[in-house]
Structure 1
Amino acid sequence: MGIRRKRPKKNTVALERIEILFREAQEEFGIHPELSRTYVERARRIAMRDRIRIPRELRRKYCRKCFAYLVPGINARVRIHRGKIIITCLECGNQWRHPVVRNYRK
């Protein structure tokens, strides 16, 4: 068994590229929604190639089934029901749920 080494420089470059692609997807969504889908797919491929996770705030901005960049009110429906946030992609109909996290003050 070899020693497993981390490559932090490669990972930071990949994360920067993923963030740039999501920023471009957001800017291009109003003009070319299909181009924003391409940017999301490229970001996913970079993450898979370099074996890194896409940050949570970016992961919730695209549909995992059809890879569409999601904008609430245009191609995504966001609802709160029984302590969960339900996000529905209006392009493919895929739904997923996230628990609502409440911050209590003492």
Structure 2
Amino acid sequence: MAASQAVQAKLSFLFKAANTQFASCPELSNFYLHQFQKTADHANVPLADAVQRLCCARCGALFVAGINCKVRINSIDASKRRKTPGRCRNRVRITCHACRHPTVTNGSTTTLLKAVASPGLSVSVAPPVDVPTGKKTKKKKLDLQAMLNQKKAPSPSSSSFGLDDFLSSL
């Protein structure tokens, strides 16, 4: 059902006002988002999934990870994964700090990831970090010790004062 221009303008204003007021007054931002949700419900305006994931369904708080919500990624067992449509490997759980309401959404599906990685686009994945072996760590340790010993040894050719000399004179 198409919404009237007045309802669309009101929803646009409330959403923009909530985003701009979050830094200065989070309570006012929560109020604007709550009004945004109520207006969308009364006007029977379907909200996009991306917009619904931005705020708490219960109290209207704008989700900012680490500030007012906790984000956790929970993996799905292989037996349950076969039963879910789209075969999601994980679920994203966002817990609001204000009302403790969890919002659970499906993670990325393998078909979505394949669609994103089309032949024209290259998806770069960070190479795995090599775990140093015993010989390498021992060599690094010896190198660091040698550097420290060189720094501690006084150099006769250096006539200028360094930061260590200045601090030791205080």
TM-score normalised by length of structure 1: 0.79
Task: Show the counterpart of 2:165.
Answer: none
CA RMSD of aligned residues (A): 2.0
Aligned positions, number:
99
* Superposed displacement of residue 96, structure 1: 2.1
Alignment counterpart, residue 107 of structure 2, candidates 82, 100, 106 = 100
Amino acid paired to 1:78: V
Task: Show the counterpart of 1:28.
Answer: 21
* Superposed displacement of residue 59, structure 1: 0.9
TM-score normalised by length of structure 2: 0.52
Q: Which has the higher strand share?
A: 1
Instruction: Work out the CA distance in 1 between the residues paired with 2:107 and 2:62.
Output: 22
Q: Is the 8 A contact 2:55 2:62 kept in 1?
A: yes
Task: Show the counterpart of 1:91.
Answer: 98
Q: Does 1:77 align with 2:67?
A: no
The structure with higher relative contact order (CA 8 Å, sep 6+) is 1
Matches within 5 A, 1:46-85: 46-82=39-75, 83-85=90-92
Instruction: Work out the CA distance in 2 between the residues paired with 1:38 and 1:88.
Output: 19
Instruction: Work out the CA distance in 2 between the residues paired with 1:34 and 1:72.
Output: 17
Q: Structure 2 stretches of 5 or more lacking a match?
A: 76-89, 119-170
Q: Is the 8 A contact 1:22 1:58 kept in 2?
A: no
- The alpha-carbon distance between structure 1 residues 9 and 87, as it changes in their structure 2 partners (threshold 3 A), is closer
Q: Is the 8 A contact 1:79 1:87 kept in 2?
A: yes
Larger Rg: 2
- The alpha-carbon distance between structure 1 residues 88 and 9, as it changes in their structure 2 partners (threshold 3 A), is closer
| Identity within the alignment, % | 25
Runs of 4+ displaced beyond 3 Å? none
- The alpha-carbon distance between structure 1 residues 9 and 79, as it changes in their structure 2 partners (threshold 3 A), is closer
Amino acid paired to 2:25: H
Instruction: Work out the CA distance in 2 between the residues paired with 1:72 and 1:60.
Output: 12
Range that drifts further, 71-80 or 16-25:
16-25
* Superposed displacement of residue 20, structure 1: 2.8
